[in-house]
Amino acid sequence: MTKFQAMTEGGKRLGHIKGILAGMVKEGVTPLEIDTLAEKLIKDGGDKPNFKMEHGYHHSTCINVNEGMVHGIPGKVPFRPGDVVKIDMGLLHEGYHLDTATTVAIPPTTGAVTRFLDVSKQALATAIFVATPGNTIYDIGLAMQTVAEASGFNVIRELTGHGIGRKLHMEPYIPCFADKTCKKHFLAVDQTIAVEAMLTMGDWHLVEDSDGWTLSTQDRSITAMFEETVYITAEGPKILTSIN
């Protein structure tokens, strides 16, 4: 099985699981319940939950609520009306890693939050659109930052997307902003990257929570995260982890 075949199949499986988990995000459900189902679905397909392969981490997903940005440990506190929930997940299929994330707002939601999530999705879509052979990592960050700031939001600068394949986290690292040092990193055919749009409604600075994992906004502003694993082909980017 080629890299393209393995990652395409693994991405399809992960995209399907992502859709199921997103549909679970409702008032009264706990992050731990979602994590438990994620592990079951991944293992039932014959794959491995690759987040559990990260040193010191013991869950199959990271789930963050409201101001939480990344690395949230799935707990037993039920979701409440108005929560903005981020689910980050991955799996290992035939020796290749896949990684994806989505954000779901629990009703009732404000118009401001709805607009924020729409802009965050557009930031990711625009960033992926420019992920073509010959373009650079800088182009991806510039696209993301431009979309976010044009609507009055900010991109996170302390975290990045990344290369992905035989390892979950590989070079190159892909900032959400126009980092000039990334102009030398050109995209090539057969490259696979995890493009992460991480936005906040307020200030982009983060602080680590007392659990030693969760990173949240210092000003407690709402965050969003949308991520796809992308395969670079001669014809352009192919999203592998879409919901299906």
- Note the pLDDT of residue 1: 87
- Residue at 156 is within a domain: yes
Number of structural domains in the chain? 1
Distance CA 198, CA 228 (A): 12
What does the alpha-carbon distance between residue 29 and residue 10 come to, in Å, rounded to a whole number?
27
Domain range enclosing 171: 3-234
Q: Do the domain assignments include residue 179?
A: yes
CB contact at 8 A, 223 and 217:
yes
Look at the pTM and tell me if it is higher than 0.95: yes
Q: Is 48 inside any structural domain?
A: yes
- Residue 242 in any domain: the answer is no
Closest CA to 221 of 154, 130, 132, 145: 154
Q: Specify if 239 maps to a domain.
A: no
Domain assignment of residue 244, yes or no? no
CA dihedral of residues 141, 87, 91, 186 (deg, nearest 10): 0
pLDDT of residue 155: 98
CA-based radius of gyration for the chain: 17
Separation of alpha carbons 16 and 36, rounded Å: 16
Please give the DSSP secondary-structure letter assigned to residue 186: B
What whole-number distance in Å separates Cα of residue 225 and Cα of residue 192? 19
**111 located within any domain:** yes
- Give the pLDDT score at 201: 98
pLDDT of the chain, 244 residues: tens digit per residue: 899 999 999 999 999 999 999 999 999 999 999 999 999 999 999 999 999 999 999 999 999 999 999 999 999 999 999 999 999 999 999 999 999 999 999 999 999 999 999 999 999 999 999 999 999 999 999 999 999 999 999 999 999 999 999 999 999 999 999 999 999 999 999 999 999 999 999 999 999 999 999 999 999 999 999 999 999 999 999 999 999 9
Given CA atoms 135, 136, 139, 144 in this order, what sign does their dihedral have?
A: positive
CATH (domain of 156): 3.90.230.10
Specify if 243 maps to a domain.
Answer: no
